Amino acid sequence: MRGPHNILRLIRTGATFERTGAMGAVLDAMEAPPRLRLAARVLGWPFRWLGYAGDPDLPPITRAITALGPAYIKFGQILSTRADVVGAELADQLRMLQDRLPPFPTPIAKEIVEAELRQPVDALFSEFSEPVAAASIAQVHRARIRENGQEVAVKVLRPGIGAAFRRDIDAFHFAASIIEALSPGSRRLRPRDVVSHFESVVTGEQDMRLEAAAASEFAENTREDANFQIPAPHWHLSGRRVLTADWAEGLPMGDPQALIAAGHDVTHIATRVIQLFLQHALRDGFFHADMHHGNLKVARNGDVIAYDFGIMGEIDEYTRRVYAEILMGFIQRDYRRVARVHFEAGYVPRDRDEAQFARALRAVGEPIFGADASRISMANLLAYLFEVTERFGMRTQTQLILLQRTMVVVEGVARSIDPQLNIWEAARPVVSDYIKSNLGPRALAGDMAKVAQTVGRFGPLLPRIVEQALWERAHPEDRNPQPQTRPDIPVWLVAGLSLVAGAAIGLVIG
């Protein structure tokens, strides 16, 4: 229930940060002004006793986040990839949230496996290890299939995770409602819609069958992609709370020194991570939306290995073209083009000035070009970008939330491997190829072919529709007074569709 009882949950959140000593670290990372620091301390200190103690062996911020629960851990995972936003020290502390959380006991994991697969663990696996990785949703065990001796990873959902997430999401919904009520200006950011989107994502992540399906579809889409591996799921050893997949060995993406020591080209790997994400988002419209360090490894031959397909992003073809146009505009430093695309897509209200918006975008893009990547402050850029969206009344695009979030995470991962990486140069070949394939004559022919296919499905009905429309036009007095079961289609529209279909078919055949 999204009622006032959530006030206690939100107060407890602040109290936990105060009690664990994380409040000061957060304020330092945010470079908060003295007034905000004073307000946070005055409001937080009286309720300190309500906060969770957490694990005293952990650093303050990870101690607070792990004590608060899985929804907070998800947010911490995102921040862990952005050393350029929160600082290297804090990012390093948060990185343990990716796959080094305290595991639950192996006997409980075995009970879940047996209940889900309806067979004893020993009958299914000849080996079943202690947890090798543990994250917010599940933990992973290394095992060997008894039937054929194949080595696999068995991912087991944390017990009680559904209830814990619902409790946190409930508080987030309440907080979003309060924010919208107290700050009308925040409504353009659609905080309640954002929370609802987050809720749908994490709910889907708790069904391992959906993750197996996503892994299977993702593998089909990317089977021709060079230097990229996806562990295949084993359907007969998977269920709602258990997922079994091929074991894939590799070095952690979050350890650049180990990658260098193993002889890998970290610049190539960082570039490949960016390009793979863009290829999947633009070409397929289906991409890995949780690409933090804990879900990426590097194989001995240099291939990028992706794990954990619980959160996948999907965008339609029109949105992909808009996104590609925006990226290409930034790459070519054509800010008028970027501004025009924003206006055409409806991302910026029509009553705003396009030229002024283009100049604001120039102030975002220009500091990046030609600058040493290590000297670019992504925190400052994000802060200014937020100012731009506020000034021009841009509303949050819920269909782009996962795409934008993943782009931030992927860039953070790439720059942690190679701090000198130029994201625009890495993106250029992928975006250019997509533009050529989807915004030229070939794309027009493809669009016309789709129109022909759509009209063709209704081909058998067209003569009758045309005859009915012509007869009703010639005899308006004899129209059937009964409620119509189909819309009243104008003759000109039917004729136009027929002509378009004929032209499209001729273009495709020719």
Q: Which residues are designated catalytic?
A: 290
Residue 155: in which H helix or E strand, if any? strand 151-157
486-489: list long-range contacts, CB under 8 Å, 24+ apart. Answer: 489/465
Q: Where are the alpha helices (DSSP H) in 282-394?
A: 317-331, 335-344, 354-365, 378-391
Residue type (1 letter), 415: R
> Cα(499)–Cα(455) distance, rounded to whole angstroms?
10
Residue 126: in which H helix or E strand, if any? strand 125-134
Q: Residue holding tokens 């009520």? A: 181
For residue 421, the tally of other CB atoms under 10 A from its CB is 21
Strands of the sheet with 151-157, listed across from one edge: 125-134, 138-145, 151-157, 242-246
Residue type (1 letter), 301: N
Residues comprising the chain, all counted: 510
Buried b (16+ CB within 10 A) or exposed e, 339-366: bbbbbebebbeeeeeeeebbebbeebbe
